[in-house]
Amino acid sequence: AGKFYQHAPTETSQATLASVSPVFAVMKFDKEGNTTYFEKKKTELYQELGLQARDLRFQHVMSIATRNNRIIMRMEFLKAVITPEFLLILDYRNLSLEHWLLNELASQLAGEGQLVTYSLPFEFRAIEAILQYWISKLQGRLNTLQPQILETLEALVDPKLLSVDRSKLHILLQNGKSLSELETDVKVFKETILEILDEEEVIEELCLSKWTDPQVFEESTSGIDHAEEMELLLENYYRQAEDLLNEARELRVLIDDSESIIFINLDSHRNVMMRLNLQLTMGTFSVSLFGLIGVAFGMNLESSLEEDPRIFWLVTGIMFLGSGLIWRRLLSFLGRHLDPPLPPHVPAVLKKSQPAAGKVEIKTSVKGETFGLSRSTLTNQ
């Protein structure tokens, strides 16, 4: 009786855990591209596949691992288990993912499509199809962001604009955030493949048919071992990820350079407004200075000058003429101190020391060429 009461809670807890085990919606593809759908609990699924519970613990991470002659691929929301005979896609109920599964993946695995691994075992086709889908998804995100960013920057760097459109800045901020997320995803994808390329044993383990049918893996038609072909396949997508990351970095540099141009334009317009304000202040000072003459004559003091009708025009002329002369003098003083200095004079000795034969061309280009900025070419002989 003591033993019965001791084991009863354990059996109850196991039954409770089995009842709350997650249920996977699974889509199965075989070598011919035939598709079947079913739902199965996690405990039953990993027992049938010969895996452990942690192998099916799919978080939104990216990794490629092998266990018990099975390949487990985690591509964020894409979760796949590859065997030498079939491919399992878990939790496939996603709008974009389901469209790819129904319209493209089945035909690719059956030998119809643009895959280059049709002559190789099934796991090669499955890995290439998944990597191709993921890299095309990243490329599509970049193709969507790039024209939006270029259009926004073209509207913001226009030197004719005296102010910056806040709505355009908000759009640029959102696109910059999306670009940062894309760069992070591409880096994770590239690092995941690089970790496999650095481990020869993992590349060997990815060749599943080597352990089930060794005769298949003797030599390929091109005379290259299939493990080397797996490495070439991964290197191909690693290079595509690197190119995609370089394009994203160039777009990021373009945004940073455009922000500098925007700040320069704003500073230039701000300086114009400050200079205009200073000029008006000088004009007000000049008029006020010579306006003291009118104030003096406007006092209720008697003198012999008010009897002469020409005194009014004389005093008014002196006021305006003096104010104009003082204002011009202040403007010339302002121009001497605000205008940029002239470049230093180059001695004639340095000019003669330059090479006389041939032409030396110096081309400077600004990254803002996309927005119509001028390119200056200086040719010195």
Task: Give tens-digit pLDDT for 76-123.
Answer: 888 889 988 889 988 877 657 777 888 888 888 877 767 777 788 888
User: What topology does CATH give the domain 115-269?
Assistant: Methane Monooxygenase Hydroxylase; Chain G, domain 1 (1.20.58)
How confident is the model at residue 162, as a pLDDT?
A: 55
Strand partners, 73: 64, 80
- What is the rounded distance in angstroms from the CA atom of residue 182 to the CA atom of residue 139? 9
Please give the residue that has the higher pLDDT: either 38 or 340. 38
* Model pLDDT for residues 26-37, shown as the tens digit of each residue: 888 888 878 888
* Among the listed residues 222, 231, 225, the one whose alpha carbon sits nearest the alpha carbon of residue 201: 231
Helix (H, G, I), strand (E, B) or coil at 72: strand
Strand partners, 80: 73, 89
Identify whether the C-beta of residue 50 lies closer than 8 Å to the C-beta of residue 35. no
Strands (E), the chain: 23-30, 35-41, 62-67, 70-75, 78-82, 86-90, 360-364, 376-380
How confident is the model at residue 380, as a pLDDT?
A: 41
Highest mean pLDDT among 218-222, 245-249, 339-343: 245-249
Other Cβ atoms closer than 10 A to 101: 18
What is the pLDDT confidence band of residue 371, given thresholds at 50, 70 and 90? very low
What is the pLDDT confidence band of residue 173, given thresholds at 50, 70 and 90? confident
Tokens linked to 347? 């001695």
Helix (H, G, I), strand (E, B) or coil at 292: helix
What is the pLDDT confidence band of residue 362, given thresholds at 50, 70 and 90? very low
Answer whether residue 143 shows pLDDT above 90: yes
Using CB atoms within 10 Å of the CB of residue 173, give its burial: 0 to 12 exposed, 13 to 18 middle, 19+ buried: exposed
Tokens linked to 255? 């945004």
- What is the rounded distance in angstroms from the CA atom of residue 133 to the CA atom of residue 131? 5
Answer whether residue 320 shows pLDDT above 60: yes
Q: What is the mean pLDDT of residues 169-197?
A: 90
Using CB atoms within 10 Å of the CB of residue 283, give its burial: 0 to 12 exposed, 13 to 18 middle, 19+ buried: middle
Please give the residue that has the higher pLDDT: either 18 or 134. 134
- List every span in the chain annotated with CATH 2.40.128.330: 20-108
How confident is the model at residue 218, as a pLDDT?
A: 54
Tokens linked to 60? 């939104």
Lowest mean pLDDT among 51-55, 216-220, 222-226: 216-220
CATH of 20-108, one of 3.40.50.2020, 2.40.128.330, 1.10.150.120, 3.40.50.20: 2.40.128.330
Please state the pTM of the whole predicted model: 0.66
Mean pLDDT of the chain: 75
- List every span in the chain annotated with CATH 1.20.58.340: 115-269
Q: Count the helices and strands in the chain (H runs, E runs).
A: 11, 8
φ, ψ (nearest 5 deg) of residue 73: -115, 125
What is the pLDDT confidence band of residue 45, given thresholds at 50, 70 and 90? confident
φ, ψ (nearest 5 deg) of residue 87: -125, 130
Highest mean pLDDT among 46-60, 187-201, 329-343: 187-201
Strand partners, 378: 362
What is the pLDDT confidence band of residue 180, given thresholds at 50, 70 and 90? very high
Q: Name the DSSP class of 301.
A: -
Identify whether the C-beta of residue 119 lies closer than 8 Å to the C-beta of residue 217. no
Highest mean pLDDT among 33-42, 49-58, 70-79, 244-253: 244-253
Q: What is the mean pLDDT of residues 185-213?
A: 85
